[in-house]
């Protein structure tokens, strides 16, 4: 029943987003602009890309991802839909996980498209370690999703939520972003995940588990009080 309710909430969000494409269009446009501007501003050569390819890619994911995450609970404020959801028998943790699943699907879609654009604009070959790269993206994106979803709920009633969400999310994301950036740079340089960098995978996985549990534990206090 809990899983069914989570999936019902996730399906609702994805269907609504598919009909309007508000968040996806905005974030895709924004990420494309950032990548193009970076390619002009930095004019990177292969040596430069070996240093900061992962950092650049995850910066784009973070900035564009905020546009998706901002819409997450904001869409519930229209017509007081959040009240109906909270009054229903769905556990608030189920509401949180359902929204996180929808956000995750949207963020992964955005990132896969960005990855393709990144490869073209910066002449980076990312197919070599694609399996490991997808695992790092999956873990890093879940970290962004859970932190972004909980803070989307926290800032939903604020007038300046579009500003406050990134201000709150980005500092929290420093540990997983460091891990994701370092791992991604290694993988894009052709280095596999091994004893030298497995620690960062553990950092990502640990962050995901801890913040998922924290999100589930505190969402009721955030939304109901």
Partner 1 sequence: MNALEIDTVWKYFGDYPALRDVGFNVEAGSVVALLGRNGAGKTTLLRILAGLSKPSKGSVKIHGSEVREEPTRRRIGVLGHGISLYDELTATENLVLFANLYGLKDSEKRAHQWLERTGLERVRDGLVREFSRGMRQRLAVARTFIHDPEVLLFDEPFTSLDDRAIAVLQSLIADAQKRGCTIVMSTHQLREAIELATHVVLIRKGQFAYAGERRQEMLDDPTWLYRTYEGDGAA
Burial class (CB in 10 A: 0-12, 13-18, 19+), 190: exposed
- The CA-based angle 55-36-137, given to 5 degrees, is 35
Report the candidate in 170, 180, 168 with the shortest Cα–Cα distance to residue 208.
180
Closer to partner 1 by Cβ: residue 171 or 225:
225
When asked if residue 189 is in the footprint of partner 1 (CB under 8 A), the reply is no
Give the number of residues written for the chain. 225
The pattern of x and - marking residues 8 through 47 that bind partner 1 according to CB under 8 A reads xx--x--xx--xx---------------------------
Report the candidate in 71, 75, 30 with the shortest Cα–Cα distance to residue 165.
71
**SS3 at position 159:** coil
Among 40, 45, 89, 194, binds partner 1 (CB under 8 A): 89
When asked if residue 86 is in the footprint of partner 1 (CB under 8 A), the reply is yes
When asked if residue 195 is in the footprint of partner 1 (CB under 8 A), the reply is no
Count of residues that interact with partner 1, criterion CB under 8 A: 27
Q: Which residues bind partner 1 (CB under 8 A)?
A: 1, 4-5, 8-9, 12, 15-16, 19-20, 75, 78-81, 83-91, 220, 224-225
């Amino acid at each position: 029943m809990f899983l069914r309710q989570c999936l019902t909430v996730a399906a609702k969000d994805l269907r609504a987003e598919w009909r309007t494409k508000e968040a996806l269009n905005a974030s895709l446009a924004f990420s494309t602009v950032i990548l193009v501007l970076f390619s002009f501003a930095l004019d990177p050569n292969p040596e430069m890309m070996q240093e900061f390819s992962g950092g650049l890619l995850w910066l784009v994911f973070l900035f564009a991802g905020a546009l998706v995450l901002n819409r997450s609970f904001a869409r519930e404020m229209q017509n007081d839909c959040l009240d109906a959801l909270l009054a229903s028998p769905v556990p608030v943790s189920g509401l949180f996980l359902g929204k996180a699943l929808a956000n995750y699907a949207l963020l992964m879609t955005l990132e896969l498209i960005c990855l393709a654009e990144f490869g073209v604009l910066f002449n980076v070959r990312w197919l070599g370690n694609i399996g490991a790269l997808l695992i790092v993206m999956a873990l890093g994106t879940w970290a962004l999703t859970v932190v972004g979803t909980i803070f989307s709920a926290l800032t939903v009633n604020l007038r300046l939520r579009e500003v406050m969400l990134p201000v709150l999310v980005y500092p929290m994301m420093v540990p997983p972003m460091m891990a994701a950036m370092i791992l991604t740079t290694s993988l894009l340089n052709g280095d596999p995940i091994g004893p030298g960098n497995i620690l960062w995978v553990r950092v990502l996985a640990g962050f995901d588990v801890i913040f998922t549990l924290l999100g589930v534990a505190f969402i009721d206090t955030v939304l109901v009080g």
